[in-house]
Amino acid sequence: MAEERKLKVIIAKPGLDGHDRGAKVVARALRDAGFEVVYTGIRQTPEMIAETALQEDADVIGLSILSGAHLELFPRVVDELKKRGMDDVVLFGGGIIPKDDIPQLEKLGFKGIFGPGSSTLDIIEWVKQNAPQRAA
Amino acid sequence: MATDLAKRLLEGDRWALTRVLTHVENGYTQGLDELRDLYPRSGRAHVVGITGPTGSGKSTLTGALAREYRKRGSTVGIVAVDPTSPFSHGAILGDRIRMQDLTADPEVFIRSMATRGAMGGLAATTGDVVTVLDAAGKDVVLVETVGAGQDEIDIADTAHTTVVINVPGAGDDMQALKAGILEIADILVVNKADHPAADSVFKQLHIFTDLQRQEGWDVPILRTVAHKEQGITELFDALQHHREYLSESGRLEEMRRHRARRQLLAVAQKMLLERAMGASGGERVEELVDAIAAHKLDPHTAADRLISAG
């Protein structure tokens, strides 16, 4: 049997903004690139996102946020993931995120941040390059 | 217990559960080892299939039903299957959106699966994923199929009780005469029952069940409005009745033996083929393919040679 694993990506919207066009476009683009994509819907708490990642055994999580609460919510998602032993998940983010905030998010583990105007091809390429080659 | 993850899973470790599900879903060797450890601990859960056309409310109904089970103190596993794109081989798994409020409940475990090319409404390894959730101690496992048309009926071979959802406005009484998905229903549901056309679907289904009776079990036809949680208690009760009927009538035992035989033969067939291919290699296959294509050898004799060589 083939031991090659399909990668599972979770696209989630933390916080209270209800604009998920971007998240849906990214989810669809990743689907078209051959990933299995779980879209959580809007208004997710950090606990809900981490719990979804656990139940789905996610390889990658992309957080989309437009409300400006990323410095508040992204670290809480990371904490909740750690609590559940999901510390090998690759993280990226998107939405309205000021340049000055990016170093702080990178330190948290968000190595890819995609703002307005990002190309879906760049996001796909980034996910392909950074997705974990987990042993199992 | 040979595998550490299986042991941790049985102790209630949800991280171990999710990893085992991944191993089993992907058919890894270690997944087979874990399944070997877990199989003797399975067989307790009531496995309920939820099927019906795209947009009929399967996910919403599954979510509502899960809440009803939780109210009664049962633990719940949910396996939600969505289709894989035949072109990109990717998938969007979106069933969880209708079950968001369940995410916070540690006694509910939801796993999404893509069909990965399987045509029967489930993925090839959905049955094994159900076995793992069962072994993990879930009292009920709800299996939601892809949006089903007429012929996606694998669920009837996986679930103990199959719920087929119908919606108003999807065709005339001719549809109820055709063979296929209605025939596998142990319980029929008319969802979106607050729609004006719901009555006519209800009547058509009555005509269908009058013509086609299951021995010893009258297929109930229930009305639900899943997003308003209407009719869910009645559905829960019908599921309990069916479960009691299965064990009291001996049908459950019959079902177990029938499935055991089917699984044994299916796996044996696959193994034989893999062994034959492994022993003689792809070259032998190509030689035989050439001979058949050139009409020098018939497929039956060729297959016999392939297997005998193994």
Which amino acid would we find at residue B219?
A: V
Domains parsed from chain A with CATH numbers: 8-129 (3.40.50.280)
Residues 37-96 of A with CB under 8 A from B: 37-41, 44, 47-48, 51-52, 54-57, 84-86
Q: What is the pLDDT of residues B109-161, one digit of tens each?
A: 999 999 998 888 899 899 999 999 999 999 999 999 998 877 778 898 899 99
Gap from B18 CA to chain A (nearest CA, Å): 6
Cα dihedral A133, B1, B6, B7 in deg (nearest 10): -120
Give the class (CATH, top level) of B42-249. alpha beta
What is the ipTM for the molecules in this complex? 0.92
Domain assignments of chain B as residue spans, ordered by start: 1-39, 42-249, 258-309
Evaluate if residue A2 carries a pLDDT over 60: no
User: Taking CA atoms, what residue in B is nearest to A39?
Assistant: B94
Contact B92 A85 (CB under 8 A): no
Evaluate if residue A3 carries a pLDDT over 50: no
Instruction: Name which of B59, B81, B93 to mutate to probe chain A: the one with the most chain A Cβ atoms within 10 A of its Cβ.
Output: B93
Write out the DSSP string of chain A: -------EEEEE-BSS----HHHHHHHHHHHHTT-EEEE--SSB-HHHHHHHHHHHT-SEEEEEE-SS-HHHHHHHHHHHHHHTT-TT-EEEEEES--GGGHHHHHHHTEEEEE-TT--HHHHHHHHHHHS-----
Closest CA to A7 of A35, A33, A46: A35
Contacts of B306 (CB under 8 A, 6+ apart): B276, B280, B284, B285, B288
Please tell me if residue B236 touches chain A, with a CB cutoff of 8 Å. Answer: no
- Which neighbouring-strand residues pair with B91? A36
The pLDDT profile of chain B, 310 residues, written as one tens digit per residue, is 678 999 999 999 999 999 999 999 998 999 999 999 999 999 999 999 999 998 899 999 999 999 999 999 999 999 999 999 988 999 999 889 989 889 989 999 999 999 998 888 899 899 999 999 999 999 999 999 998 877 778 898 899 999 999 998 776 556 665 667 888 999 999 999 999 989 988 988 988 888 877 788 999 999 999 999 999 999 999 999 999 999 999 999 999 999 999 889 988 988 888 887 776 667 888 999 999 999 999 999 999 988 886 4
Contacts of B136 (CB under 8 A, 6+ apart): B9, B10, B17, B77, B109
B38 neighbors B20 (Cβ within 8 angstroms): yes
**Phi and psi of B162, rounded to 5°?**
-110, 125
- Which neighbouring-strand residues pair with A64? A94
With beta carbons under 8 A apart, name residues in chain B contacting A38.
93-94, 96, 112
